[in-house]
Amino acid sequence: MLRKVILFVMIGFFSVSCFGQSRVKEGRSPLDELPAHIKHITHFGQRADFSHDGKRILFIEKTFGDVYEVELKTKTIRAMTHHYYHEGYTRALYLVNGDILLSGARQFDANNPMPSRSEKNAELWVLKKDLSAAPVPLGEKCSEGPAVSRRHMRIAWTRSGAFYMANIVYTDGKPELANKKKIFR
């Protein structure tokens, strides 16, 4: 229930920030009149993903932005991708082991951002939960946001009009894809 409430608040906030400008101009915002059981968590962010224990939320600051995590109990926000240079991400999802699956391009052109979102350039990466290094590319392109299993080290993604699924395995501590298969075209 708590997850649904928090997700509702975040969706509401993003909707207000994108579409509620007329009410804000009038001096009122739906955020000013939240019911007692709904709490405002953060003033920025999008594409939230709950940790498997429900205690944290992972999100990107903006499309092609940094990744952050907020601890729900304290509302402490922690930057997850400030310790290395990158071109920004479009998705960040918790894996069942606590590591983070990222989707983003190696290069980004602010004057022409859409190619960075295309399957030609968008890639899948794994960032270790301890943030001890930059993320490792999985060698797979992704045309739309990936999906992550909540029970297994398994992901799914789309490319060239097809859906794929694979397991993430670690060899000498390095993540890689195994058992990749096309599941739908």
Query: Where do the domains of the chain lie?
Result: 41-184
* Average pLDDT score over residue span 83-112: 88
Report angle CA 22, 27, 31 to the nearest 5 degrees.
85
Pairing of strands 91-94, 76-79: unpaired
CATH code of domain 41-184: 2.120.10.60
Percent of the chain with pLDDT over 70: 82
> What is the predicted pLDDT for the residue at 12?
54
Q: Are 146 and 91 in contact (CB under 8 A)?
A: yes
* Average pLDDT score over residue span 28-32: 82
Q: Are 37 and 19 in contact (CB under 8 A)?
A: no
> What is the predicted pLDDT for the residue at 5?
47
For the entire predicted model, the pTM comes to 0.79
Burial classification of residue 27, based on how many CB atoms lie within 10 Å of its CB (0-12 exposed, 13-18 middle, 19 or more buried) = exposed
> What is the predicted pLDDT for the residue at 87?
84
